[in-house]
Each structure stands twice: as structure tokens, then as C-alpha cells.
A and B are shown apart, each in its own frame.
Chain A
Amino acid sequence: MSVDGIGFGSGYEERQPVLLLLDTSASMGRPEEHPRIDELNRALTRWFDGVRAQERLRTRVEVCLLTFDSAVRVHDPGPGRLVPVEEADADRLFVPVDSMRPPTLRAEGLTRLTDAVETALDLARARYRALQRQRVPVRRPFVWVLTDGAPSDARGRPLDAAALEGTAGRVRQGEVRGEWVFQVIGVHGADLPMLRVLAPKATSPLADLDFGRILDLLFQSTDDSSPDQDADLVHQQVNDRAARLARMDRLESDLR
């Protein structure tokens, strides 16, 4: 029998859930002449169209997309639109990364970040357990937040550190237990000190990177980290790579 005679198994590929939390609050509609939300929409479409070429991501990563403004919504791949989480079928919220067709996002409302994080952590845990029940090898989920603002309450008042403590504690506890890796990317005027209350070692300021590069960076972190790697090391790698990218961008910009 030739080498081609050695066949491969099927259906037992490792999976890795990724939850992408996108800030769609009113501030993402600024500046008026070049709204960030438009840039984000273009980057999402381009990035998910391009992921088909990335074999290792395609095989392993499955994505759930959430947005947060005055409400938290999740992308339901069935009808292809954003719906309140309680209206969605939890079993179909995660789709293979190359099957994701992101909806067009609009910017409006407040920044209910903590609600979104709590929802995402619930979904991450549920998905991990569902895959375990299906006897599929599964890596811990990655949860990523992209925001340009500061967490607010239902009336639009900024949350203080004390109000963030509960969510921050849950995030950290889950990371220590190996339940997930949580990363916040603060862009264009995000309240970094407050975001660092939520994720002290996992908040990266990436004001100068476009959204496509940010998505590259985040998805690359799923491939660069070992399953047994400490979450803080994953954060360190993301921060180092982000700093390097920013430095290279500056160098290139200076040359122009």
C-alpha cells in the first residue's frame, strides 16, 4: 500500500470556542466623517472572508459574536441577525470561523459592558460543557472584548471600580481555573484605567491599529498559545505582539 493508503480519521478535531464582544454604543458612531463602526463592519467582513485560507483556524475555531450598547445581543446565524440572548437557540450560536457572516452593525446607545461580559462567560461555559458532552476534544474558550468607551449602567452613568468588582472577580477566577482566557482591547479613547479593573493583565490599548489587524492579533493568539499555558502568559504574548505591531507601524509610517 502506498503512502496514500494511510487514511485519516474524521470528526475528532479539537475545537476552540471564541466569543467576540463588540462595542456598538453611540461612541462607535464617531467621528461623524469616519465612524468607527463603519471601519469595524468592513474589517469584520474582510477578516471572516479571508479566514478560509487559514487551515488551522478553520479546523479548530468556532465563533460566537455578541454586541453591547444599551442591550446585549448575540448573532443568530440562522436568520443572520442580532437577537437578545434569551431569544436565541444556544446550540447554534457558535459557527465554524469560516462560516461566520457578520451582520452590519449600527452604533447607538450606552455601554453595558459588564452585562455583555457576564452573558459571554455564561455562553462560554455552556458551550465548553456541551462540547464535552459530545465527546469532542475542546480547548478552553477565548473571550475578547473590543470597546472604545467605558462601562456604564442602565442609565448611562459610568461604573466605578467597586461596581466592576463582581464581574472582574468572575473573570479572574475562571482564568485561574482554566475555564477561559479573557482579553480586552481598548480602542480610540477607551477608559483604560477602568477596563484594567476588569482585566488587570489583559487590557491592551490598541488605539493605532485598525480593526483588521486587531482581529489578526487576537485569532493568532489562539494558535500561538498552548492548551496548558497560563492565561497571564497568553495576555503577555498578546501585549508583546501588539506593542511590536504598533512599533513597526510607527517605523513604516515614519518612512513614508
Chain B
Amino acid sequence: MIVAGASVQGTAHLARGQGCQDAFKAVDLGGTAVLAVSDGAGSRDRSALGAHIAVDAACRLLTEGIPDAQEPPEAWTRWVAGRGRRVIEEYLRAATGVLGAGAGGADSGAPGADAGAGAAGTGAMAWASGRRAGSADVHALDTGGGTADPRALGTDASAPDSRVPGTDSPDSRVPGADSSAADSRAPATDSSAAGSRVPGADAGTAGTGAAAGVSGPGADSADPCLRGSRADSAATRTVSADPVAADLGALAATLTAAVVAPPWVAFVSLGDGFGTLLTRDDRCHLVLPPPAAPAAFLSSPGAALRVRTFAVWEPDLAGVVLSTDGCAALALDHPAVHRLPPDVGPLPAAGFFLGLAATLRENHGDAEPLRRRLSGPEAGRTGDDLTVVCALVEGG
């Protein structure tokens, strides 16, 4: 598997003296990869820290207990729904610990550790992160195949060692974690729960194999337009009775994560990131479009109920790409470009995804060209931080 990613500070962030508030991480387990991207809320002081905590937690928990490829769809959906809730809980536990509220606990296994099985890493992986072109702090790594350990890559975790004080119980309850989410799976509530048209907007492209169920609120499927008004401002205010919960808002971040275990891909998402599948027939499928409703953050009340989880079975899987919302204008086309009505929703821009895949395959996973492209003037017009991480199936 080729695993690569890049994260670039937005030009607007640069202009106002803010660092990059996105983070990404990926773990290559050989035939399986775990990917995660996170977008720290622009207006929050410590959201970059929250983004790092989010991708660390996701990559650690999503490497545990991955079902076999032969397992039935319900095994995958059940697993990813449970993992999705655990990721939220873990984020809250770690964030609460960072805020100093969970004093006295033992180390509970930190996000950031390369947890997961000891499968051999194969193929090439690379990563690049850093500030905009011309600045320092750019890293690139390219490991050849056949290494022994699972490898993690991602944005520089100047962020938190997330070995934070806290309880060690896997079921520990933390402020904001909603215990009522014991089973938040609600496939029937999402119009896209059945079939391969996972949340919505894959119109104009072929379906991608069979999708397994979706959990999470159905309200996310209709309208991709509200990226600008995340729901968290008000939401954070509503939890302010608990000072720790209120402080959690300072670490507000979104999360989009995927376990890529061909032919299966399992997604966990909260917020406005988006995910695209590539298939061997050179088609792109926006299986996880930007959400309709105002996006929530991991620290938002009810996050465990709002998290979207689903699994897709795609025998022709060639790759998976996750992006933060800043990339929407770069990686998506408005339907009008394809002479389709607006309610079709955004479509994946083939030039972006197929170009990315071809570039990475050609250079054996070196993400530097991607980082350079995201750092260029054409990409800078968006102003936002830009993060892309992908896993390409060998020979796909």
C-alpha cells in the first residue's frame, strides 16, 4: 500500500499569524492502512492541539480489532460504529487530561503510540507537512517495503504527547461523552444507508460495490453548504456550566478517519472533512461528502451521537483519499461544471484525485509534489489550511 499525505498552512492563517491547525496521521499495517485528518477550529486557541489529539486517538483505536475481509457487512458496521464512539471518548479523555482535569490517573495508552498489530509494512509511504512554500519545518519520509513494524506518519506532533493523566479504564466516562450513545447506529435514518451511495453525492459516477450500513445522524446528507457556520460556538456555550467541558472548546477539532482494508473501507467522521474512493476503472466516488448541517466538533455536546460511521465494500478499490474542508474548492467540482443541477451536490474533481494517485504511484509515494501543489498560489486562494492523506492499493 502507498500511504502519503501533506498538510499546508492556509494563506489566511499565515496572514493573521496563525499556525496550521490541521493535522493528519496514517498507520501502514501492510495490507491495511489507517488514515486520519483533523481540522482544528480556526477561532480556538488550542485547536491545533485538539487536531493532533484527534488523529492520534483515531489511528490508535482504529488499528485495534479490525475485522477480516471475509467478515459480513454487519461485522464491519458494528465494529466501526463501536470504534467511532471510542474515538470520541478517547479524544475527550485525552483533551480533558491535557486540560488538567483528569489528575492522578495512570497512563492509559497514548494517542501517538504506534499501536496496532505487528503486521509487516509494505510498499512505500511518505509524508510531508509544514508551513507554506518557502518556510522551514518541512519533513518528508519515504520508507521502502518490507519493513517490520507498522509505520505511522503524519503532521509533526509538536502537539501533545497525549500520554495524559486520566483514567485507564477503556470505558471511562469523560465530560461530554454521551453514555446514551450505547448504540447510536441508525442506518435507517440516513437516506444513503443502503447500497453503495453512502452519504449522498456520488451522482454521475458509478456506484462502488456494496456499502454496508451507516450510523449517525441522517441530517448530514442533504446540504453541503454550511461549512462556514459550524455549530460549535453556541454548542460550546451550552456546556459552559462545566468549566472543563467549556475549556474543551478551545481544543475543538473535526475528524475524518478511514480504515482501508481492501475490499473494505470503514469511515469515522465528525465535522466537515470529506472522503473519496478511487476504483480501478479510474473513477472517483465521493462516498463521504462534506456535511449538510453545520459541522460539529469532537468537543461539541452529543459528539458521540453525531459521529458518522459506515463501511464500504469495493472489490475494485484502488485508493482512498481523506481531506479537510479547506481542500473542498480544490478537490471538488460544483455540479454545474458537469451540467448537473445543484441538488446533485459536489462531485469529486477527477483531475485532482486521479492526478494525485498517478503522481504518487509514479514517484513511489513521495508526497512532496502534493505538498508543493497545495503550497502554490492557485491553492492559496482558499486561505484555509489544506490537508490530504491517502492510501493507494498496490497495483490499483
Contacts and interface: CB of A to CB of B under 8 A. Distances in A.
Interface of A: 1-3, 5-14, 16, 55-56, 58-60, 131-140, 178, 223-230, 233
A140 B228 CA distance: 7
A131 B225 contact: yes
A182 to B, nearest CB: 15
B334 A135 contact: yes
Given A6-B369, A14-B227, A227-B230, A135 B345 contact: yes
Interface string B7-20: 00001100110000
A13 B329 contact: yes
Q: Is the interface of A mostly helix, strand, loop or mixed?
A: loop
A137 B355 contact: no
Counting chain B residues whose Cβ lies within 8 A of the other chain, the interface size class is: 35 or more
B67 interface: no
B369 A2 contact: yes
Interface stretch (B143-151, B178-186, B308-316, B378-386): B378-386
Contact of A138 (B225, B342, B373): B225
Interface of B: 11-12, 15-16, 41-43, 223-230, 232-234, 290, 328-337, 342-346, 348-352, 355-356, 358-359, 362, 369-370, 372-373, 377-383
Contact of A3 (B330, B372, B380, B383): B372
B334 A11 contact: yes
A197 B39 CA distance: 38
B383 to A, nearest CB: 5
Contact of A1 (B330, B362, B378, B383): B362
A16 B381 CA distance: 14
A189 B356 CA distance: 58
B231 to A, nearest CB: 9
Contacts of B331: 8-9
Contact of B43 (A3, A136, A228): A228
A-B pairs, top 4 by smallest CB distance, nearest first, are: A7-B351, A226-B42, A11-B334, A9-B349
A139 B344 CA distance: 21
Contacts of A9: 329-333, 337, 348-349, 351-352
A140 B41 CA distance: 16
B226 to A, nearest CB: 7
Contact of B352 (A8, A13, A226): A8
A8 B330 contact: yes
B333 A135 contact: no
Nearest to A13: B329
B342 A5 contact: no
Contacts of B224: 135, 137
A226 B43 CA distance: 6
Contacts of A8: 329-331, 349, 351-352, 378-379
A227 B228 contact: yes
Contacts of B330: 8-9
B137 to A, nearest CB: 20
A228 B12 contact: no
Given A55-B377, A137-B290, 4 more contacts: A2-B369, A139-B227, A228-B41, A228-B42
A228 B230 contact: yes
Contacts of A14: 227-228, 328-329, 382
A138 B228 CA distance: 6
Nearest to B290: A137
Contacts of B356: 6
Nearest to B388: A6
Contacts of B337: 9-11
A16 B379 CA distance: 18
B225, B336, B369: residue with the most chain A Cβ atoms closer than 10 Å:
B225
Contacts of B369: 2-3, 6
A134 B343 CA distance: 7
A7, A55, A136, A223: residue with the most chain B Cβ atoms closer than 10 Å:
A7
Contacts of A226: 41-43
Contacts of A228: 41-43, 228-230, 232-233
